Amino acid sequence: MTPDHEVLIVGAGFGGLGTAIEFNRLGIDDILILERENDLGGTWHVNRYPGLAVDIASVTYSYSFEPNPYWSRLYAPGAELKGYADHVADKYNLRRYMRFNAAVESARWDDEEQLWSVSLAGGETVSARYLVTATGFLSQPYRPEIEGINDFTGTVIHTAKWDDTVDLAGKRIAIIGTGATAVQLIPELAKVAGHLTVFQRTPIWVVPKVDGPIPKPVQQLFARLPIAQRIARAVNIGMYEALIGGVIRFRQAKRLNLHRRPTAMGIKHMRRQIADPELRRKLTPDYDFGCKRPTFSNDYYPAFTRPNVRLETTPIGHFTPTGIVTTDGNETEIDVLVLATGFNIWDSNFPAIEIIGREGRNLGKWWRDNRFCAYEGVSVPMFPNYLSIASPYSYIGLSYFTTIEAHMRHIERLFGEMRRRGARTFEVTDDANTRFLDRMTAKLADSVFYNGNCATANSYYFNQHGEAAILRPTSTISARREAGRFPLNDYTYAA
């Protein structure tokens, strides 16, 4: 049977765009990209909350092969990222592959026909020889089940479903959550709210953000002399490598007594911005830097010093129709509730859709019942012709583009070999997968996750088995090298 398409990609964010570009380079043009939203851009289309900006410098948070000399700031605002995604889609002529408002529900491997049968909401089925999920790590918004929350009669907004039509000016606003999203949003809410209460369960480490506009002459230099921007990117990646190196080689950093440096930076940053020692105490994490994703901000701490902002650290008990009652019995009456409560990763994002491989194996169930793992963060035994861009152990370094480009390289090598062999089906071997998992597990033994104090961090890096199975505990250089050199017989191939 001839499949409807050679390649089916789920998700039109940066992962999906990069994958489509790679398949084009391999000469494959029969591609379908299904996207549940009404436009491309993934995170940068969906997230529109005030203050949204990249917090990895823009020279790095972009494809290395498609530099943008015209970023307006060192850390571009969200709308520029969406514009960059549009530019890439247009330049590489990718829109012709895309179908929007097409929510994929499940995919099943048909061993007889050697193809994937993909089901969409509404009942339609599409078949493809190769399936790629590029659904990101942070695509399933998490809404906490707090007693009475559904009885609250005011306005409720999740940060990933921002509603611009809600007038926040002068309102009594509560925000739940103090993760990377809240760190960007709280200063903006503080400017407009009549009163803002921040409900913090776990404080977050915040270090200074070296940000500012990129002057026009520098933009012109980057445009005329791309090597200048490549050098800036290399320097920036080096800095991130050092930062993440301290996280994944925590044991070695501790031996050299370097492990407290980021923590000290965070404490100094807070001291400079907040005079009140009690407020500082409440905002100071009691876990090691790196257990949770670090954040960068210059206006987060000052927001708490405004007269219209209050930090609430007593746990939330329940909701009433008009407010939030903390466990000490005090009620905070509010008009608007903002949920900066993040995303569901381990229960409903790995994978984001139901995926059934050979012999009826359900990928999500298999991972949850056993251990989360994807060979080189990209392929899984029993799931032929399937690649996942956001998988366990696939996040490399700090910029998601490093991950995407490593996976593009992996695809290039894998499909090059398939072409040489005249093969149409691939599957990673169980043995290669186990070796990879053992290697990642051994390397993680040096990381902050197992050597540091992470018990109170409540970090989404850890899954339900207590394993920190998102970050690949290697340098970006070695991950990139491996993507271009993995042993070809780690896969089996069939015509």
Contact flag: residue 138 with ligand NAP (CB under 6 A) = yes
- CB-wise, 126 or 471, nearer to ligand NAP? 471
Q: Which positions from 175 to 194 touch ligand NAP by CB under 6 A, shown as an x/- string?
A: -xxxxxxx-x----------
- CB-wise, 343 or 401, nearer to ligand NAP? 343
- Total residues at the site for ligand NAP (CB under 6 A)? 26
Q: Which stretch binds ligand NAP (CB under 6 A): 100-108, 162-170, 237-245, 339-347?
A: 339-347
Contact flag: residue 62 with ligand NAP (CB under 6 A) = no
Q: Which stretch binds ligand NAP (CB under 6 A): 3-11, 335-343, 408-416, 438-446?
A: 335-343
Q: Which positions from 101 to 130 touch ligand NAP by CB under 6 A, shown as an x/- string?
A: ------------------------------
- CB-wise, 88 or 291, nearer to ligand NAP? 291
From 345, 417, 428, select the one nearest 386 (Cα to Cα): 428
- CB-wise, 180 or 432, nearer to ligand NAP? 180
- CB-wise, 294 or 384, nearer to ligand NAP? 294
From 91, 101, 113, 144, residue interacting with ligand NAP (rule: CB under 6 A): 144
From 230, 293, 371, 443, residue interacting with ligand NAP (rule: CB under 6 A): 293
CB of 28 vs ligand NAP, minimal distance in Å? 31
CA distance 330 to 197: 13
What residues between 4 and 23 interact with ligand NAP by CB under 6 A? none
- CB-wise, 53 or 98, nearer to ligand NAP? 53
268-272: long-range pairs with CB below 8 Å, 24+ = 269/206, 269/207, 269/208, 269/301, 270/206, 270/301
- CB-wise, 53 or 107, nearer to ligand NAP? 53
- CB-wise, 9 or 185, nearer to ligand NAP? 185
What residues between 201 and 220 interact with ligand NAP by CB under 6 A? 201-202
b/e code 139-172 from CB counts within 10 Å (16+ = b):
bbebeeebeebeebebbbbbbbebeeeeebeebb
From 146, 221, 267, 274, residue interacting with ligand NAP (rule: CB under 6 A): 146
CB of 268 vs ligand NAP, minimal distance in Å? 22
From 203, 186, 392, select the one nearest 289 (Cα to Cα): 203
Q: Which stretch binds ligand NAP (CB under 6 A): 216-224, 228-236, 337-345, 430-438?
A: 337-345
CB of 68 vs ligand NAP, minimal distance in Å? 16
Which residue do the tokens 């990381």 mark? Answer: 447
From 175, 214, 291, 316, residue interacting with ligand NAP (rule: CB under 6 A): 316
From 449, 460, 461, 491, residue interacting with ligand NAP (rule: CB under 6 A): 460
From 16, 68, 6, 70, select the one nearest 39 (Cα to Cα): 16
Tokens of 184: 């960007």
CA distance 117 to 109: 6
CB of 482 vs ligand NAP, minimal distance in Å? 24
Which residue do the tokens 């969406």 mark? Answer: 82
- CB-wise, 145 or 359, nearer to ligand NAP? 145
Contact flag: residue 342 with ligand NAP (CB under 6 A) = yes
Q: What are the strands of the beta sheet with 316-320, ordered from one edge? A: 316-320, 323-326, 331-333
From 327, 458, 464, 489, residue interacting with ligand NAP (rule: CB under 6 A): 458
Contact flag: residue 55 with ligand NAP (CB under 6 A) = yes
- CB-wise, 140 or 425, nearer to ligand NAP? 140
- CB-wise, 3 or 16, nearer to ligand NAP? 16
For binding to ligand NAP (CB under 6 A), which residues are involved? 53-56, 138, 144, 146, 176-182, 184, 199, 201-202, 293, 316, 340-343, 458, 460
